[in-house]
Amino acid sequence: MAHAIWTGSINFGLVTIPVKLQTAIRTNDLRFNFLHKKDEGRINNVRRCSIDGEEVSYDEIVRGYEYEKGKYVILEQADFDRVNPEATQSVDIVQFVELSEINPMYFDKPYYLEPEKRGRHAYALLREALKAANKVGIARVVIRSREHLAALKPNGDALVLELMHFADEIVDQSSLDFPEREKPHENEMKVAKMLIDTMSEPFDAEAFHDKYREELLAMIEARAAGKEAPKAKAPVRSHDNVVNLMDVLQKSLEESKKQRGAQSAESASERREAAKKKTARRKKSAA
Amino acid sequence: MSKRTTANVVVDGRTLVVSNEGKVLWPNDGYTKGDLVAYYRAVAQWILPHLADRPLTLERYPDGVAGGSFFEKNAPRGLPDWIPTVAVPSDSGRRSEVRFMLCNEEPALVYVANLAAIVLHVWTSRVETLDVPDFLFFDLDPFDGCSLATLAKVALGLRAALEEIGLVPVVKSSGGSGLHVAVPLAPEYSYEIARSFGEMVARTLHARMPKETTLERMPAKRPQGTVYLDYVQVGKGKTMVAAYSARARDRAPVSMPLDWSEVEALTRKRAKETSAEFARFTIKTAPERLAESGDLWGEPYWKVQRLDAALAKARRLWQ
């Protein structure tokens, strides 16, 4: 298992259970690097000042909050530390509720709480008690220096800490256009229910895969295998490149010459005319 | 500060409003917008041939060089109808086309200067032939620790390489720390050809001067003290700071065409840094120099050349 995010404790009442906070979600996204099409050079981001155009190093960067167009309040690390809730590294349970009371939209991201050796007994006790009471704990927890609201849920052998959104983060439904509640026609309802019944089966998460990812991965593997040799990353000697370039250039020049030759005499005279005008203008402005 | 905030100026029979002439654009030098307008008017006859018929991008500094700036490709709102524009399909996707202004005459130049458009960037092609460049362009950009002499040596090395294959280049200061080298072309070669040709020359030069030059695009990977040979600034829509354009730097330097003998003289200088040398040419000193020596990027220095024979020579000599 990877490193714990933090080591701390679950606290409620006078009970303290030492735990480690562990990641529960693996991000499966394929990671791509931005490359320069021409030579596969990695694209890197340059932090550049919009005023003097100079590159700016991290130690010269401060965070500013734009409170009015173009006007900033500058906050330094010390300021953030000041208002930061104490990095208690604890899950402080403030109440217990029934899971069904919580709108699932509030749930954001689950973490595992893994007990430390001396907390195993109390951990198991809390888990079983929650199951028996059919309750979950509502807790405050600090992760990466920010305080979150979270639910503590029994899940198999584990206690899962699921971060929750604060109420003001949820977009109000009234801001969007949904049909009003209405009593549907009985026959329509019957048909809809029948359709739902025929498609009903137990949920099996394993049955679903990220097809997009799989297909992308298959394509990448095929391409990687199809390459005769890995592309030379060491700088190619200038001279070899020059010789190749010359060959390519020779072809391009011959082609463009052919194209020029194919142009009618008429357009050639047009070009001469334009050139004459240009010279005239140069002379005029030089005078 | 001047008390009058706007003044009418008649240029070539057109009346233009110059607002806030007294606004300081170069605070460390005390130069004002009026000075910028006066400069562009003084050098109009020399700069206009380099701007004429080329899509123009303005780099504007409404609050002076110490304040914010922005690039303006689209012709500014309220552009007088006598200033011509050219529509070019946009590559950014936000709009279908970009309408560039063309600065073909002195009144347009005054109009531009009044916008505090200090730096003028032009395409390397002209409206009649937007798909083909009319010069090859090498941007010699000294990296940290590159001395003036090294920069000059690299420029001379580039000139020598070009002359070996029968091409005659011209050179100018960028107005910042580097040099711009151009080979005037008959407008017949695609951007792709021009770019590949530039790459061939740059690689050849790099093979000859590996310690003094770099082709590394990533600044972080460039060796200290080298000159970055930038041959990739060639392409449809890519721009160059126009000859005689002012720069938004202290002392108000301008991009100044040079005689190659002046570049040779630089090889004997000891300066550890390059920009101070080129800051000799400013909006205050340039008009006098121009009156004396004329346009070193004009006739007879600007010779329109062809690449076919040059490539044949390169294949014979460099292969």
- Ordered DSSP codes for B123-141: ESS-GGGTTS-SEEEEEEE
Contact B182, B169 (CB under 8 A): yes
Calculate how close chain A gets to B194, using CA atoms only, in Å. Answer: 9
pLDDT band at B95 (very low <50, low <70, confident <90, very high): low
Confidence (pLDDT) at A143: 80
Calculate how close chain A gets to B8, using CA atoms only, in Å. Answer: 24
Name the residue among B45, B126, B319 with its Cβ closest to that of A246.
Answer: B319
B62 within a domain of the structure (yes/no): yes
Confidence (pLDDT) at A246: 86
B68: which chain A residues are within 8 Å (Cβ-Cβ)?
Answer: 50-51
What CA–CA distance (Å, rounded) separates B118 from B72?
A: 12
Query: Do B180 and B105 lie in a common domain?
Result: no
Query: Do B115 and B151 lie in a common domain?
Result: no
User: Which residue among B123, B149, B169 closes a domain?
Assistant: B123
A55: which chain B residues are within 8 Å (Cβ-Cβ)?
Answer: 219
Calculate how close chain B gets to A246, using CA atoms only, in Å. Answer: 7
Question: Residue B318 pLDDT > 70, yes or no?
Answer: yes
Please state, as a whole number, how many other Cβ atoms lie within 10 Å of the Cβ of residue A170: 11
**Better-predicted residue by pLDDT, A67 or B274:** B274
Q: Which domain range does residue B158 map to? A: 135-236+255-280+293-318
Interface test with B, best of A42, A246, A276 (most B CBs within 10 A): A246
Confidence (pLDDT) at A2: 57
CATH code where residue B204 lies: 3.30.70.3300
Calculate how close chain A gets to B49, using CA atoms only, in Å. Answer: 6
- Put simply, the answer to whether A242 touches B307 (Cβ < 8 Å) is no
A274: which chain B residues are within 8 Å (Cβ-Cβ)?
Answer: 128
Confidence (pLDDT) at A238: 56
**Given its phi and psi angles, is residue B294 left (phi above 0), alpha (psi -120 to 50 degrees) or beta?**
left
In the block, which residue shows the tokens 């012709």? B75
Calculate how close chain A gets to B11, using CA atoms only, in Å. Answer: 14
What CA–CA distance (Å, rounded) separates B287 from B294?
A: 10
- Put simply, the answer to whether B319 touches A44 (Cβ < 8 Å) is no
User: E strands of A44-202, at which residues?
Assistant: 63-68, 71-75, 90-98, 107-115, 135-143, 146-155, 158-164
Query: Do B119 and B51 lie in a common domain?
Result: yes
Contact B109, B47 (CB under 8 A): yes
Q: What is the pLDDT of residues B134-172, one digit of tens each?
A: 999 999 999 989 999 999 999 999 999 999 999 999 999
Number of domains, chain B: 2
Name the residue among B189, B217, B318 with its Cβ closest to that of A256.
Answer: B189
Q: What is the pLDDT of residues B99-126, one digit of tens each?
A: 999 999 999 999 999 999 999 999 999 9
A257: which chain B residues are within 8 Å (Cβ-Cβ)?
Answer: 308
In this structure, of A182-186, B36-40, B250-254, the range with the lowest mean pLDDT score is A182-186
- Put simply, the answer to whether A286 touches B45 (Cβ < 8 Å) is yes
Q: List CB contacts of B71: < 8 A, sequence separation 6 or more.
A: B57, B58, B59, B60, B121
Query: Do B265 and B306 lie in a common domain?
Result: yes
Query: Do B65 and B162 lie in a common domain?
Result: no
What is the separation of C-alpha A26 from the centre of its chain, rounded to a whole number of angstroms? 13
Tell me, what amino acid is at A120? R
Q: What sign does the dihedral B234-B236-B241-B243 (CA atoms) show?
A: positive
Calculate how close chain A gets to B91, using CA atoms only, in Å. Answer: 17
Q: List CB contacts of B51: < 8 A, sequence separation 6 or more.
A: B102, B103, B104, B109, B120, B122, B242
- Full pLDDT tens readout for chain A, 287 residues: 457 788 889 998 888 899 999 889 887 777 888 899 888 888 888 888 888 888 888 888 888 888 888 888 888 777 776 665 544 588 999 999 999 899 999 999 999 999 999 899 999 999 999 999 999 999 998 887 678 999 999 999 999 999 999 988 899 888 888 888 778 888 888 888 887 887 888 888 877 877 777 777 777 777 777 653 334 344 445 566 787 888 888 888 888 878 777 654 445 455 555 554 444 444 444 43
Contact A11, A93 (CB under 8 A): yes
Q: What is the pLDDT of residues B178-213, one digit of tens each?
A: 999 999 999 999 998 999 999 999 999 999 999 999
- Put simply, the answer to whether A253 touches B319 (Cβ < 8 Å) is no
Domain boundaries along the sequence of chain A = 6-25+84-168, 246-286
B207: which chain A residues are within 8 Å (Cβ-Cβ)?
Answer: 237-239, 242
B66: which chain A residues are within 8 Å (Cβ-Cβ)?
Answer: 51
Query: Do B149 and B179 lie in a common domain?
Result: yes
Tell me, what amino acid is at B25? L
In CATH, the number for domain A6-25+84-168 is 2.40.290.10
B246 within a domain of the structure (yes/no): no
User: Which residue among B100, B123, B146 closes a domain?
Assistant: B123
- Put simply, the answer to whether B315 touches A246 (Cβ < 8 Å) is yes
B248 within a domain of the structure (yes/no): no
In this structure, of A164-173, A217-226, B277-286, B290-299, the range with the lowest mean pLDDT score is A217-226
Query: Do B91 and B205 lie in a common domain?
Result: no
Which residue, among A101, A111, A98, A103, has the nearest Cα to A150 in the 3D structure?
Answer: A111
- Put simply, the answer to whether B196 touches A245 (Cβ < 8 Å) is yes
B203 within a domain of the structure (yes/no): yes
User: Which residue among B74, B96, B123 closes a domain?
Assistant: B123
What CA–CA distance (Å, rounded) separates B231 from B154?
A: 14
Average pLDDT score over chain B: 92
H or E segment and range at residue B58: strand B56-60
B268 within a domain of the structure (yes/no): yes
B287 within a domain of the structure (yes/no): no
Is A256 within 8 Å of chain B by CB?
A: yes
